[in-house]
Amino acid sequence: MTKPLLICASLLLAMALAEQPSAPNPVAASMRDLPWGDLNFIQTTDSHGWHAGHLQEAQYSADWGDYISFAEQMRAKADEKGVDLLLVDCGDRIEGNGLYDGSDPKGEYTYDIVREQAIDVITTGNHELYQEDAAAREYNLTVPNFKDKYIASNLDYINPKTGKQIAMAQRYRKFTTKNQGLRVLAFGFLFDFTGNAKNTVVQPVEKTIQEKWFQEAIREDVDLFLVAGHVTLHGPEYKAIYKAIRSQNWDTPIQFFGGHSHIRDFAKYDSKAYALQSGRYMETIGWMSIDGIKGKGKKDEKEVEPRASMSFKRRYIDTNLFGYHYHTGLNETTFPTEHGKNVSTMIHKARKALKLDHSFGCAPKDLWLNRAPYPGTDSVFTWLENDVIPAVAVNKDRKDTPRLAITNTGAMRFDIFKGAFTKDTTYIISPFVSKFVYIQDVPYTSAKKLLPLLNSGGPVFASADIPVSHLAPPEQMSIRSDIITPVSPADTYAPPNAQAPLMSSTSKPDLVPGYTTKDDGGDDGDDTLHSPISFYRVPNCIQSAISFPTEGEPETVDLVFVDFIQPWVLAALQFTGQSYNASDVGVYMEETLTELLAGWIKANWKKDC
Ligand SMILES: *[C@@H]1O[C@H](CO)[C@@H](O)[C@H](O)[C@H]1NC(C)=O
Ligand SMILES: *[C@@H]1O[C@H](CO)[C@@H](O)[C@H](O)[C@H]1NC(C)=O
Ligand SMILES: *[C@@H]1O[C@H](CO)[C@@H](O)[C@H](O)[C@H]1NC(C)=O
Ligand SMILES: *[C@@H]1O[C@H](CO)[C@@H](O)[C@H](O)[C@H]1NC(C)=O
């Protein structure tokens, strides 16, 4: 299998099979079983609106309705075994797919779809907070949809009516599991995020853990501390929380769930403290099982029984029906639940209402974010830099003025597959409401230094609270900065946790290319055996020089850039000796990057596939 198969089954048949009608059929593969324990978890994180699944990639083609069927079948199995199963979601449920971004206001269907899953612990990501209206919807809709399951340990909301700062949701949740009677105390954190809209307040984790309520919570006698959050597993935030809990409980098991960097990752903090992170975009759902917790709660019966035989095991499940059937031991007739099928239908109706399959044109070939070298003919960024941006970054009144147009690579979120380029595709690759802004007549001697500064980072940005890593795609966060040259396969150069997405065509014939994760648990975490994929580093920013004189250098240029990177641009300009501030920045284009992109596709790839 070299390319994702696009099989358009009839609506009727597809509905019987669940998943979305246009989703490709899942592909059979060699599988690893799910390990069960006393307490088991399924985690989702960074789903970014991909609740319809991946309609161009067979191995991630299951939708949120299928996930609901899977969870319901697995809960039934847990009940049979007399063990517990909890569902966790760690945020960034929005932005990144037409199902969320394609409506006005955004998320017209997403909140109703997400709420159908019975999630036990749900937290907030940074994407829920970038825009004021999104943060308000989180408070207005998601929090009440999940009630006591929603946890906001370090996040406040500013009530627009009263102006009062209030907790987004409860700070922690204490509950007892259904079958094993385990006493769990759960927190829900967001990393030390500073880019939130002004109707929310994110309190740094390091400060939150000094608060009285937290200090009291970690002194509670429980069987397990559960720390869910939109936080990377190796960052300072979880280190601080781990230390704080351990300072009071040297022996109580702690299970962390993380997110944000879009990778599959598993970390061991000590022999009873582990962390799992389950990738991105509904490509992965994470499975975690803990065995041997039992006993601690029933002190009178099992006095000081040591938990020497505790074990923590993880599995990363590719989200497709082949795997769901395999892990439940069910088939296409017995697997889907009525509830799951209903939700698949809801999603299908939403996609139709949003006209997400409306085609703008036809992509002549695959273009990759990280799976092809940059610069190069198969790189999304080379295509943007050479073809798209020079054509679209045009302000009528200044079209002949030489300009440098700078875009951060993180503005692009996904690969482009050969074939139909739909309304959905535009949101998938460029979900943000970013626009081009500019500073007029910047001396070229300074302007030309900008790109190298943005791409090298270093002292320019050291004092400001603006790490340049925020400019690149989040997948790159976990890759060492000293590695610049592309190497293949990913795992030969990347740190244990770096991940490469998707599939490619160069691999052993019997394995489908996909995730080949290495983490603190070894290299047997993926449920599906894959051949590895190449992963190439890309710069933080790319640049197009437009309307330049054919000879010599211009005296001054218009410095055009995506509004998201303004703080970095101003800091870098300062470094070159040019003192500009926000009042010097004007709107260059009224359209969003997404709209400009759609316009270019219509004009240049207009063929019907
Ligand atoms: C949230 O709810 C408040 C109060 O009902 C309302 O005024 C506001 O418009 C809502 N905001 C959004 C974005 O839905
Ligand atoms: C599915 O499993 C059921 C129960 O084991 C069996 O009766 C049925 O024939 C299977 N269906 C298919 C399509 O394999
Ligand atoms: C599924 O949808 C049908 C038709 O709308 C409804 O009658 C039924 O109650 C739903 N079932 C579940 C479990 O949601
Ligand atoms: C920006 O700089 C100009 C001088 O170059 C100054 O007059 C203005 O007050 C500054 N604005 C802000 C918001 O700092």
> Which numbered ligand comes closest to the C-alpha of 65?
3
Centre of ligand 2 to C-alpha 438, Å, is 62
Confidence (pLDDT) at 308: 57
171-204: buried (b, 16+ CB within 10 Å) or exposed (e) per residue?
bbbebebeebebbbbbbbbbbbbeebeebbbbee
Centre of ligand 4 to C-alpha 434, Å, is 24
557 DSSP β-pair partners: 442
Centre of ligand 2 to C-alpha 336, Å, is 13
Query: Once rounded to an integer, what is the mean pLDDT over residues 343-361?
Result: 97
> Does pLDDT of 538 surpass 60?
yes
**Is 128 in contact with 195 (CB distance < 8 Å)?**
no
The structural domains of the chain, with segments of one domain joined by +, span 34-354, 359-491+535-604
Six-digit token string for 554: 């211009």
Using a 6 Å cutoff on CB, does residue 481 contact ligand 1?
no
Six-digit token string for 3: 């390319």
Edge to edge, the sheet with strand 264-270 lists 172-176, 183-190, 224-230, 254-258, 273-278, 264-270
Atom of ligand 1 lying closest to residue 105 CA: 13
Pocket of ligand 4 from Cβ distances under 6 Å:
581-583
Amino acid at 426: T
Query: Once rounded to an integer, what is the mean pLDDT over residues 587-597?
Result: 95
| CA 109 – CA 145 distance, rounded (Å) | 14
Atom of ligand 4 lying closest to residue 579 CA: 5
- The protein residue whose alpha carbon is closest to atom 4 in ligand 2 is 334
> Which numbered ligand comes closest to the C-alpha of 157?
1
The percentage of residues in the chain with a pLDDT greater than 90, rounded to a whole number, is 81
pLDDT in tens, 390-445: 999 999 999 999 999 999 999 999 999 999 999 999 999 998 889 999 999 999 99
Helix 321-328 vs helix 64-81: crossing angle, to nearest 10: 10
Centre of ligand 3 to C-alpha 321, Å, is 21
**Is 112 in contact with 346 (CB distance < 8 Å)?**
yes
pLDDT in tens, 221-269: 999 999 999 999 999 999 999 999 999 999 999 999 999 999 999 999 9
- The residue whose CB lies within 8 Å of the most ligand 3 atoms, and thus the one to mutate among 64, 113, 338, is 338
| CA 387 – CA 444 distance, rounded (Å) | 23
Confidence (pLDDT) at 478: 65
Helix (H) or strand (E) holding 100: helix 98-101
Q: Residue 409 gets which letter from DSSP?
A: G
Residue 10's pLDDT band (cuts 50, 70, 90)? very low
Amino acid at 67: Y
Atom of ligand 3 lying closest to residue 343 CA: 14
367 DSSP β-pair partners: 416
Q: Beta strand 359-363 with 419-422: parallel, antiparallel or unpaired?
A: antiparallel
- The protein residue whose alpha carbon is closest to atom 13 in ligand 3 is 339
3-class secondary-structure state, position 561:
strand
Atom of ligand 1 lying closest to residue 136 CA: 13
Q: Residue 333 gets which letter from DSSP?
A: T
Sequence length of the chain is 609
| CA 286 – CA 608 distance, rounded (Å) | 38
Using a 6 Å cutoff on CB, does residue 332 contact ligand 2?
yes
**Is 169 in contact with 151 (CB distance < 8 Å)?**
yes
DSSP 442-485: EEHHHHHHHHHHHHH-GGGGTTTT--GGGGS-GGGGGS-TT--S
Centre of ligand 1 to C-alpha 593, Å, is 27
The residue behind tokens 């429980």 is: 222
Residue 1's pLDDT band (cuts 50, 70, 90)? very low
pTM: 0.87
Centre of ligand 1 to C-alpha 15, Å, is 35
352, 485, 492 from 488: Cα distances, Å: 40, 10, 7
200, 405, 455 from 560: Cα distances, Å: 30, 4, 17
Centre of ligand 3 to C-alpha 117, Å, is 14
| CA 176 – CA 97 distance, rounded (Å) | 36
Q: Which of 460, 351, 301 is nearest to 50 (CA)?
A: 351
Confidence (pLDDT) at 536: 92
Q: Residue 302 gets which letter from DSSP?
A: S
Confidence (pLDDT) at 492: 29
Centre of ligand 3 to C-alpha 49, Å, is 23
Atom of ligand 1 lying closest to residue 133 CA: 13
pLDDT in tens, 299-341: 444 445 555 589 999 999 999 999 999 999 999 999 999 999 9
Tell me how far the alpha carbon of residue 232 is from its chain's centroid: 11
pLDDT in tens, 53-67: 999 899 999 999 999
561 DSSP β-pair partners: 406, 437
- The residue whose CB lies within 8 Å of the most ligand 1 atoms, and thus the one to mutate among 104, 131, 138, 140, is 140
Please state whether the peptide bond connecting residue 105 to the residue before it is cis, i.e. omega within 30 degrees of 0: yes
| CA 70 – CA 323 distance, rounded (Å) | 10
> Which numbered ligand comes closest to the C-alpha of 582?
4
- The protein residue whose alpha carbon is closest to atom 4 in ligand 3 is 342
Q: What is 359-491+535-604's CATH number, 3.30.930.10, 3.90.780.10, 3.30.470.10, 3.40.50.720?
A: 3.90.780.10
507, 530, 532, 535 from 489: Cα distances, Å: 10, 12, 6, 7
- The protein residue whose alpha carbon is closest to atom 2 in ligand 4 is 581
Using a 6 Å cutoff on CB, does residue 133 contact ligand 1?
yes
> Which numbered ligand comes closest to the C-alpha of 330?
2
Using a 6 Å cutoff on CB, does residue 16 contact ligand 2?
no
What are the helix (H) ranges across 282-403? 321-328, 338-353, 380-383, 389-392
Pocket of ligand 3 from Cβ distances under 6 Å:
338-339, 342
Query: Once rounded to an integer, what is the mean pLDDT over residues 13-22?
Result: 62
3-class secondary-structure state, position 89:
strand
Q: At the fourth CATH level, which superfamily is domain 34-354?
A: Metallo-dependent phosphatases (3.60.21.10)
Atom of ligand 2 lying closest to residue 331 CA: 1
Query: Once rounded to an integer, what is the mean pLDDT over residues 581-608?
Result: 94
Query: Once rounded to an integer, what is the mean pLDDT over residues 13-38?
Result: 81
Atom of ligand 3 lying closest to residue 116 CA: 14
Q: Quick check: do 34-354 and 359-491+535-604 share a fold?
A: no
Confidence (pLDDT) at 495: 35
Number of CB atoms found within 10 A of residue 540's CB: 23
Atom of ligand 4 lying closest to residue 584 CA: 1
- The whole-chain average pLDDT of the chain stands at 89
